[in-house]
Amino acid sequence: MTSETLNLARALIQRPSVTPEDAGCQSLMNERLSKLGFNVEELFYTDTLNTWARKGSQSPHFCFAGHTDVVPTGRLEDWTFPPFAAEISDGMLHGRGAADMKGSLAAMIVATERFIKNNPNHKGSISFLITSDEEGPFINGTTKVVDLLESRNEKIDMCLVGEPSSRDILGDVVKNGRRGSLTGHLTLIGKQGHVAYPHLAKNPIHLAGKLIDELSNTVWDNGNAFFPATSFQISNIHGGTGAGNVIPGTIDIQFNFRFSTEVTADELKTRVIKVLTTHNLQYKLDWTLNGLPFLTEPGLLLDATLKAIKDVTGIDANPETTGGTSDGRFIAQTGCKVIELGPINKTIHQIDECVSIHDLEQLTDIYEAILVELLT
Ligand SMILES: [Zn+2]
């Protein structure tokens, strides 16, 4: 079995682009975009290759976004097929990045080629925003390209990110938003001492008990029609000197909020500080805001996506906002509508990552149908 999308997906997988390497993936894609008349800009920041390619200058401006980098393979001997061989077996394409997200990249390119061939006089413009730094620290990737576009006052109206959104069958889930992510790095300060003389010390681990109880039982909000309730989770606790007879002087607690659009990061910070104050605690607290929440409400982009999925697969897709963060959050901050749609995510980041060849074909058809909906 062979197809254009499959061939391109294989060629991309065979380029071992572990974050932040691009390993020639973007030049392969950009050659094809240039042939279609795209104006291609390759933007290299520190260690990351990005592409901004656009055809046309009119609105509506529709953008395909994605990443060429992949997560590390893990132990090579654990893989059934070598991770960068792009082997085919039983209708599945195997390899690192097959589902996250080189299959999607191939489908975007082929869908665009077909669309332009069939609709040479389409309206609006099409662009590609591609990075090799999505799986990494996301410093020199999409966010930098978005800054550049903002400085030029170049606006994207609608964006489709090819992240693997599907759960059990292709197209059953699209992401029409993502929760925000806020991490707190808390140090509770007590007083170190001998366990046999507790009256001379102040045990921060004991102080943490009541605090954790309150924070973990607080209802931060009830979510809304598009978002589940905001959740608070502790991810790390470290306290103790290692000695069995010493009360430690401090305890470190790291926690994370996945938050809806019902609260802001600042509100969450204020409420945590209020709890700390009520408990009369001495502390040090630093915050990392990993991403703001975004939401694409029903409208042109979401409707076109749901219709395209229905037309190609017969499925009624579910719009959801669950899961981790994605580069969609940076693009959405510019006011652009963002949707995520890609293959089944069951094997992503795992040993033996793979994608169905049939799904890649259908994904290409869906992407093309979305272009038809929006730009003809
Ligand atoms: Zn991804």
Q: For 63-110, write each residue's pLDDT tens digit.
A: 999 999 999 999 999 999 999 999 999 999 999 999 999 999 999 999
The CA distances from residue 97 to 14, 15, 208, 301, in Å, are 10, 10, 42, 26
Check if 373 is active-site: no
Give the lowest-confidence range in 122-131, 253-262, 290-299, 367-376. Answer: 290-299
State the pLDDT confidence band at 2, using cuts at 50, 70 and 90.
low
Mean per-residue pLDDT, 124-132: 98
Helix (H) and strand (E) counts in the chain: 9, 19
pLDDT tens sequence across 286-302: 999 988 899 999 999 99
| Cβ neighbourhood burial of 3 (10 Å; 0-12, 13-18, 19+) | middle
Catalytic residue among 22, 100, 133, 134: 134
Give the lowest-confidence range in 133-147, 240-254, 267-281. Answer: 133-147
Mean per-residue pLDDT, 148-174: 97
| C-alpha to C-alpha distance for 266 and 251, rounded to whole angstroms | 24
Q: How much is the pLDDT for 137?
A: 81
- Does residue 136 carry a pLDDT above 90? no
- Does residue 152 carry a pLDDT above 80? yes
| C-alpha to C-alpha distance for 333 and 148, rounded to whole angstroms | 14
- Does residue 337 carry a pLDDT above 70? yes
- Does residue 1 carry a pLDDT above 90? no
Q: What percent of the chain has pLDDT over 90?
A: 95
Paired strand residues for 231: 258
Contacts of 81-86 with C-beta under 8 Å, sequence gap 24+, read: 81/352, 83/16, 83/353, 84/13, 84/14, 84/15, 84/16, 85/13, 85/14, 86/9, 86/10, 86/11, 86/13, 86/14
Q: What percent of the chain has pLDDT over 70?
A: 99
42, containing H or E segment: strand 39-45
State the pLDDT confidence band at 322, using cuts at 50, 70 and 90.
confident
Here the tokens at position 319 are 């719009």
Q: What is the mean pLDDT of the chain?
A: 96
| Cβ neighbourhood burial of 300 (10 Å; 0-12, 13-18, 19+) | middle
Place of tokens 């997560």: 71
Q: How far is the CA of 175 from the centre of ligand 1 (A)?
A: 13
* Among 273, 286, 283, 252, CA closest to 183: 286
* Among 8, 107, 13, 30, CA closest to 69: 13
Q: How far is the CA of 101 from the centre of ligand 1 (A)?
A: 5
- Does residue 349 carry a pLDDT above 80? yes
Give the lowest-confidence range in 127-131, 168-172, 291-295. Answer: 291-295
Q: How far is the CA of 300 from the centre of ligand 1 (A)?
A: 25
Mean per-residue pLDDT, 208-233: 95
365, containing H or E segment: helix 357-375
- Does residue 26 carry a pLDDT above 60? yes
Half-sphere exposure for 201 (CA within 13 Å, toward CB): 19
Check if 266 is active-site: no
Q: How far is the CA of 113 from the centre of ligand 1 (A)?
A: 23
pTM of structure: 0.87
Here the tokens at position 142 are 């999409």
